[in-house]
Structures are given as C-alpha cells and as structure tokens.
C-alpha cells in the first residue's frame, strides 16, 4: 500500500542517451497495466537533473505519458551539498544515475539519507584525470569503489545494471546455473554491434561513430590494455586492443572481436574459476578507422565524436550481446539481438541504448518491489545473494533470447587469437 502513495525518483544526467531510453520505458510503464511497476509509476514524481538541462518541450514530445510528473533542474552534480539538499527536500526514494558524476560521491549522498541508488557503470573523476593510470582506468575505478563499498550500509544500491555490465551478468548466471554440474573452461561476454547509417552520405570526415558514448568507448578501445580474468586474477596483454582479434562462433553466426576491459569481467571473475573475458566488435567503419590510426591515437581524441542516432538517418545492422560458455568439446551460448530500425519506431532510441535501459529498468523494478537487504550489489551479487526478481523484470522488455550449442570448441583466448597488426 505504501507504493500506491506518491513515490519520488530523481534521474541524474537526464539529457543523455541512456536517460532518454529509460524514460522511454517508464513512459510506456505509465500506460501499461501489466508492467510490473505500472502502479508505482502512475503515482511517481520525477526530478530530472542535468548540467545542461533541456526544455520541457523536449521531454513532453518524447514522453507524453509522463506530462505533469516531471520537474527539471539544472546544476553541477559535483556540488554534493546541493544534491543532498535536493534529495532531502523532495523526499526522493530512488536515484537513477546515468550521469558522468563520480559514483562514490553520488552513492555517499544516497547512503547518508537512506535513498535507493542504481547506475549503469562506474565513474571516478580522479581516475579520469590521472594520466599515470593509462592502460588501467577501469580496474582502478573498480578497486577504488570496492574499497568503499562495505561502508554503504544505509542504502539499497545496484551498481552497473545496464547492458554490460548488467544484463550480461544475468545471462551468465542463468547459463552457468543451467549447467552447474558441468563447469566451463571459460565464460566469455560477447557483443557484435554492426549498427551504422545506411546512407553513407551522412558520414563526416575525421569523425568517430559509435552507438553509445564515443568518449567512454575510446577509453576502453585505445586508453586501456586488453584484459581478462583467470583464477580470480586480472591479466593484461601489453598491446593495443585493436591489434588482435578473437574468434566467436554462435551457430551460423561468426565474428572476430577485440578483448576489452569491462566491469562484469572483474565481478564474474571473482565469483567463478573460469577464464572470463569480453570480446567486442563495433561497426566496420569505426574498426577500420581505429586500426589505421593506432600509430598516433592522440589524433583520434582530437576528431569529432558522433553517436549513431536513428533520428538522424536510417540505421542498418544490429546489436548482438550474449554469453558463450566454453568446454573441451562444445560451446553453449545465449544472446539477444536488437535492431535500431525496429526499436526506434516504438521507443525513439537506438537498440544499444534500449538494451542498456532494459537493465536499468530491471534493477529499478527490483529496488522498488523486492525485499533486498541493505547494502550495495553488483548484478551478479544481487542474483546470487538476494531474492530479487531481476530476470522477470528484465524479460518484460528484453524478450527475444537465442539459446544454442556448438558441437565443437574454439578453445581459450590464446587459441582464438588472430593477430591483425
């Protein structure tokens, strides 16, 4: 009955692509009586915060079912005193953080007041600004956050509940659980995002295109070393990410991707004694662009950065994300595929951002509806250590999963490796 009263959600970074996508799902929740949190959203007041806030017309055109529920605010989230006062004065129950603000600082504000918190990725301003951490920014963010994580005992928080990290941990836990009597040699998170503009006249020179934050992508693609985990130990290849490719086969689908550092590799690597890695391939245009400029990657940082946006032109291709379990004589896989050309028609966003939003929605619904003990959880910890119905909420919007098996194995990473440069 408490949930039927006024509920308050604050969204940080409300003008970003991820915020647009989660708001699109919540816009749908508001009129879908079968949606798990419909009865809450209809009684929810939203506060949207961004350092460069848009107009109410922008929000009303995209999210008409939330009209009257939105209040817009503009300020810098580094002003934690102002954020704390906002959370207190509005009686905010839940913060959805899809900003670039420092995760530790945002969570400390929420913990102080007992506010629920969810985000899609770890952010750390000090790490971003420290050039001495070249090659290892993700691991440093992860280690610094884990050092503080036990201190947050007055909140319920889910960290990294986007697509990956997030959705892929649910896939991994599901596949590993279904095959618990036969532990795999390896568990690889795999993604092949071939999304790109159909009209090549839209392509501008000296511009890098990705379906999500170009800056964050480049952080993984050219500022980090390839990383995987074996026997709970993170291991690094002293090489360019784009100098080597690794084979992935999913039935009749096959691609070669790069080995990139990612949060879920670290969290799953601590839980399972298998080789864990993330193998990722983006569109061919961006792949070729990076390879041609590996001799001087600083040049790439000076180029323009553009999102592949279906509102700017038709986007062909798809984003496939999944999990591959590797054995001596076979491989078991699970994946989801979405196309921007289809997602945009209903949700006015790209496939990639919608997949991220599905993970945020699942975590949000779990924080609202489930009896989760106080503390901070990565998605795999949430699934293994609580009675969360994360998977039930996730599959309300992310419905089409392909399951299959390869009757042979390509082996571990060193056996899949193909040197490019």
Q: What is residue 2's predicted lDDT score, i.e. its pLDDT? A: 58
pLDDT score at 3: 56
Peptide bond into 165 cis (omega under 30): yes
In the prediction, which pLDDT does 276 show?
98
DSSP characters over 194-253 = --EES-GGGPPTTEEEESS-HHHHHHHHTSB--EEEETTEEEE-SS-GGGEEEEEEETTE
Going by C-alpha positions, the residue among 354, 198, 216, 190 that lies closest to residue 281 is: 190
Record the tokens describing residue 338, joined without a space: 């979405």
Contact in structure between 13 and 50 (CB atoms under 8 Å): yes
Contact 349, 211 (CB under 8 A): no
Q: Which tokens belong to 292?
A: 């041609």
pLDDT at residue 137 is higher than 80: yes
Query: What's the confidence (pLDDT) of residue 151?
Result: 97
Per-residue pLDDT for 1 more than 60? no
Q: Place 4 in a pLDDT band, splitting at 50, 70 and 90.
A: low
pLDDT of residue 413: 98
Rounded Cα distance, 116 and 367, in Å? 7
Calculate mean pLDDT across residues 406-416.
98
pLDDT band of residue 6 (cuts 50, 70, 90) is confident
Identify the pLDDT of residue 152: 98
Please give the average per-residue pLDDT across 315-337, as a whole number. Answer: 98
Cα R_g (the chain), whole angstroms: 21
Q: Give 30-67 pLDDT, tens digit per residue.
A: 999 999 999 999 999 999 999 999 999 999 999 999 99
Instruction: Spell out the domain ranges in the chain.
Output: 2-162+354-395, 167-349+401-419
Give tens-digit pLDDT for 54-103: 999 999 999 999 999 999 999 999 999 999 999 999 999 999 999 999 99
pTM value surpassing 0.95: yes
Average pLDDT, the chain: 96
Helix (H, G, I), strand (E, B) or coil at 54: coil
- The pLDDT tens digits of the residues spanning 222-253 come to 999 999 999 999 999 999 999 999 999 999 99
Q: What angle do CA 163, 321, 303 make, to 5 degrees?
A: 75
Name 249's bridge partners: 254
Q: Which CATH class is domain 2-162+354-395?
A: alpha beta
If we measure between CA atoms, which residue out of 165, 159, 186 comes closest to residue 175?
A: 186
* Residues 184-223 pLDDT 10s: 999 999 999 999 999 999 999 999 999 999 999 999 999 9
Architecture of domain 167-349+401-419: 2-Layer Sandwich (3.30)
CA 77 to each of CA 100, 107, 119: distance values in angstroms, whole numbers, following the listed order: 9, 12, 14
Region 314-340: mean pLDDT is 98
**409 three-class SS:** coil
pLDDT in the model for residue 49? 98
For residue 335, is pLDDT > 60?
yes
Nearby residues of 99 by Cβ (< 8 Å), 6 or more positions away = 12, 13, 16, 49, 50, 77, 106, 123
The answer to whether domain 2-162+354-395 and domain 167-349+401-419 are alike in fold is no
């Amino acid at each position: 009955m408490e949930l039927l009263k006024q509920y308050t959600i604050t969204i940080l970074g409300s003008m970003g692509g991820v915020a647009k996508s989660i708001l699109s799902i919540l816009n749908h929740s508001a009129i879908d009586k079968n949606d798990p949190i419909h009865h809450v959203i209809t009684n929810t007041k939203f506060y949207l915060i961004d350092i460069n806030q848009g107009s109410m017309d922008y929000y009303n055109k995209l999210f008409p079912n939330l009209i009257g529920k939105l209040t817009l605010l503009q300020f810098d989230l580094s002003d934690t005193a102002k954020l704390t006062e906002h959370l207190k004065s509005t009686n905010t129950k839940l913060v959805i953080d899809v900003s670039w603000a420092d995760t530790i600082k945002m969570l400390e504000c929420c913990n102080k007041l007992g506010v629920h918190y969810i985000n899609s990725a770890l952010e750390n301003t000090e790490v971003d600004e420290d050039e001495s951490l070249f090659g290892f920014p993700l691991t440093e963010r992860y280690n610094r956050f884990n050092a503080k994580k036990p201190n947050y005992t007055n909140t319920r928080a889910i960290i990294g509940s986007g697509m990956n990290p997030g959705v892929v941990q649910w896939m991994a836990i599901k596949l590993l659980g279904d095959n618990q009597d036969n532990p795999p040699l390896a568990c690889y998170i795999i993604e092949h995002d071939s999304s790109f503009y159909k009209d090549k006249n839209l392509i501008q020179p000296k511009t890098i295109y990705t379906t999500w934050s170009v800056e964050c992508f480049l952080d993984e693609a050219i500022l980090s070393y390839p990383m995987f985990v074996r026997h709970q130990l993170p291991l690094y290849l002293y090489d360019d990410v784009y100098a080597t490719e690794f084979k992935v086969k999913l039935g009749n689908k096959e691609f070669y991707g790069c080995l990139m550092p990612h949060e879920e590799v670290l969290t799953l690597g601590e839980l399972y004694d298998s080789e864990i890695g993330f193998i990722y391939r983006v569109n061919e245009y961006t792949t070729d662009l990076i390879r041609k400029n590996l001799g001087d990657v600083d040049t790439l940082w000076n180029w323009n950065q553009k999102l592949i946006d279906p509102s700017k032109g038709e986007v062909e291709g798809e984003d496939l994300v999944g999990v591959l379990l590797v054995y001596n004589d076979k491989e078991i896989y699970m994946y989801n595929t979405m196309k921007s050309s289809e997602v945009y028609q209903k949700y006015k966003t790209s496939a990639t951002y919608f997949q991220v939003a599905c993970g945020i929605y699942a975590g949000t619904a779990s924080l609202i509806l489930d009896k989760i003990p106080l503390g901070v959880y990565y998605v795999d910890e949430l699934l293994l250590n609580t009675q969360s119905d994360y998977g039930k909420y996730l599959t309300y919007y992310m419905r089409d999963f392909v399951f299959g098996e390869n009757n042979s194995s390509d082996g571990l990473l060193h056996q899949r490796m193909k040197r490019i440069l």
